[in-house]
Amino acid sequence: MTTQEMKKAFEEAYGRKAEKIYFAPGRVNLIGEHVDYQGGSVFPCALSFGAWLLIAPNAERVLRFKSLNMPQSYEIPIDAIAPQPDRAWCNYSLGCMDIIARRHPEAKLQNGYDLLYYGNVPAGAGLSSSAAMEVVTARAFTEEMGVVIADDKKYRTELALIGQECEHVYAGVMCGIMDQFASAQGKKDHAIYLNCDTLEFEHVPVKLDGIKVVITNTHSPHHLDSGAYNDRVSQCKLAVEQISKVKPIKFLAELTEEDWREVESAITDPIAHKRARHVVGEVARTAAAVEALKRGEIAYFGELMTASHVSLRDDFEVTGPELDALAEAAWQVEGVLGSRMTGGGFGGCTVSLVRDEAIETFKSFVGAEYEKKTGLKADFYVAEIGDGVMRLE
């Protein structure tokens, strides 16, 4: 859908023109999964698809929410912002407005607004459609509510933190910072090497000569709010508590692989032990992968991606039959350097590095094998790495 079509839809919905248009991207994480809430480093990049928001103030002190993707519309008084029942999609927007006001006491909603959202991130694909919605809302309403942060990098980090807190408070998902950070700080043709504890980061050029990043959608939607995600967070916390009896730590990511061998016996819970082993190994893999990319060692980068999936399957247990079927089929295709699940898991997408000449074979073979094993049809997207959140008009 073009921005002109979105403008027309806004006029049809509200009988007047939108005054401003914003965009925030979804993201794909190349490596570094389920480490962000344990202080680890991740390596995501922003995508060229995401969420758009068109707004115009109104004189009625109400917030009107419409989406071109959802049938439900909402009308909320600006003096009654609170989580809405039945997992209402407007909670992601309301939450951001609420969190902006909590974090910035000077920020005020002076009037109501008419809002129209459109997104082309496949819902439930694990490519951060919710984070894109949060970040685009935070971008629009920090501006509307008078939040001023002159330093652009600090401002974008603040947008990410607003989105993360919204996810915690309004969606009940105790996510890390990665998704919102990638949507806010993305840079075209670069991935973000982000330390999720300190929020220090580096934009690393993604130079893949003759190789493409291919995202494959299981069409088995993931559900981070189902409880399994929060269970993993709790299991990692238990591992930290038990390790801290012999070596005080705040996060599992503080442990090197050598440290791990010295302290792993302190974890008496077998499930927590497996979760911790994944985190420590994934942090090391991510660091090695970033250095490999900088040196142009793409084949090694791909091997580390595949090792990441194996760990997520065996130790973190967040892949499931659909993601495993995609990854295992991809590993059989000549010209695939590596393939792994991406995102929270429990469904969603894989990300693969595929040589240009192998892309059609990859789609054909992986698609056929996946349908044979699951009865589902996969979709394939050749990813373009884009910029972070922006005001378009």
Q: What is the pLDDT along the chain (393 residues), one digit of tens a residue?
A: 999 999 999 999 999 999 999 999 999 999 999 998 899 999 999 998 999 999 999 999 999 999 999 999 999 999 999 999 988 999 999 999 999 999 999 999 989 999 999 999 877 677 788 999 999 999 999 999 999 999 999 999 999 999 999 999 998 888 889 999 999 999 999 999 999 999 999 999 998 999 999 999 999 865 554 578 889 999 999 999 999 999 999 999 999 999 999 999 999 999 999 999 999 999 999 999 999 999 999 999 999 999 999 999 999 999 999 999 999 999 999 999 999 999 888 888 999 999 999 999 999 999 999 999 999 999 999 988 999 999 999
For residue 278, give the nearest of 305, 251, 317, 249 by alpha carbon: 317
> Looking at residue 223, what is its pLDDT?
55
Any catalytic annotation for residue 179?
Answer: yes
For residue 277, give the nearest of 287, 268, 288, 264 by alpha carbon: 264
Angle made by CA atoms 352, 358, 364, in degrees to the nearest 5: 85
Report the C-alpha gap between 192 and 206 in whole angstroms. 10
46 beta partners: 27
Q: Is the Cβ–Cβ distance between 133 and 92 less than 8 Å? A: yes
* Residue 28 CA, distance from chain mean position: 7
- Catalogue all structural domains in the chain, each as residue range(s) with its CATH number: 3-205+386-391 (3.30.230.10), 211-382 (3.30.70.890)
**At which residue do the structure tokens 């399957």 appear?**
313
Report the C-alpha gap between 70 and 145 in whole angstroms. 26
Structure tokens at 94: 């309301």
Residue type, 89: W
Structure tokens at 276: 């911790």
> Looking at residue 174, what is its pLDDT?
81
Selecting among 36, 98, 114, 179, the annotated active-site residue is 179
Report the C-alpha gap between 77 and 91 in whole angstroms. 14
> Looking at residue 122, what is its pLDDT?
76
Hey, what's the torsion of the CAs at 211, 215, 218, 222, to 10 degrees?
Answer: 140
Report the C-alpha gap between 380 and 85 in whole angstroms. 34
Report the C-alpha gap between 40 and 285 in whole angstroms. 11
Half-sphere exposure at residue 3, Cβ-oriented, CA atoms within 13 angstroms = 15
> Looking at residue 181, what is its pLDDT?
97
Which alpha helices (H) appear in 117-190, and where do they start and end? 129-144, 152-166, 178-185
Secondary structure (3-state) at 378:
coil
**Residues with Cβ within 8 Å of residue 201, at least 6 apart in sequence:** 181, 185, 192, 193, 194, 195
